[in-house]
């Protein structure tokens, strides 16, 4: 059922259409019209009447006909959108598609980073080695960059550059992991020692105050 606010919208739209149509019959300022224009408007808008021997003129009845565009009124009542819930099969399919898209994107990013690593670090180092130059600093820089790469890119390097991987990159990476684990263990032990010492100091303070 149509609501009062919707009815108001319909009346407002009809009012606008009527005003637009009536504007076509509005007479310009008569004092500014030429004699020919005055005659044209007068003949179109007035009709002669007689009362005995007297003559007089009255305006013709308006015959304004509105051209209604139904599409304008159709848009005034908006039907609520019915949200169609996807089936479980559709949800599963969408999840799989999203997963595939993410994997493809990640792969594309990894390939791009891998190619940049080869171009910016590996190839210059190899060119220097071929030319007989010292590459110690280059190797340190390569290792430094390699350590920060994702595991996926490291796997690509392992597959495509096995000699460099086994000789330099993998040993350096393993050594870094061992140092990191050692530091972690040392930090854990340090925290444990601090807590033990704090407990001992608290116990001693308690003994002294008793």
Predicted pLDDT at 63: 59
- Tell me, yes or no, if the pTM score tops 0.85: no
Predicted pLDDT at 172: 86
Predicted pLDDT at 38: 85
Predicted pLDDT at 158: 92
Which residues of the chain fall short of a pLDDT of 50?
none
Predicted pLDDT at 25: 67
Instruction: Output b/e per residue, 132-168; b: 16+ Cβ within 10 A.
Output: eeebeebbeebbeebeebeeebbebbeeebeebbeeb
Tokens of 207: 């003994």
């Amino acid at each position: 059922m149509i609501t009062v606010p919707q009815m108001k919208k319909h009346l407002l739209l009809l009012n606008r259409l009527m005003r637009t149509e009536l504007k076509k019959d509005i007479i310009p300022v008569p004092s500014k019209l030429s004699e020919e224009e005055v005659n044209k408007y007068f003949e179109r808008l007035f009709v002669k009447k007689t009362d005995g021997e007297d003559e007089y003129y009255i305006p013709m009845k308006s015959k304004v006909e509105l051209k209604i565009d139904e599409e304008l009124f159709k848009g005034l009542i908006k039907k609520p959108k019915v949200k169609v819930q996807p089936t479980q099969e559709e949800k599963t399919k969408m999840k799989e598609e999203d997963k595939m898209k993410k994997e493809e994107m990640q792969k594309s990013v990894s390939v791009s980073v891998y190619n940049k690593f080869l171009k910016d670090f590996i190839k210059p180092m190899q060119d220097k080695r071929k030319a007989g130059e010292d590459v110690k600093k280059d190797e340190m820089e390569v290792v430094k960059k390699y350590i920060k790469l994702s595991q996926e890119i490291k796997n690509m390097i392992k597959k495509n550059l096995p000699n460099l991987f086994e000789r330099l990159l993998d040993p350096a990476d393993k050594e870094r992991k061992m140092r990191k684990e050692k530091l972690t263990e040392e930090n854990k032990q340090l925290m444990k020692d601090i807590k033990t010492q704090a407990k001992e100091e608290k116990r001693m303070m308690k003994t002294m105050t008793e």
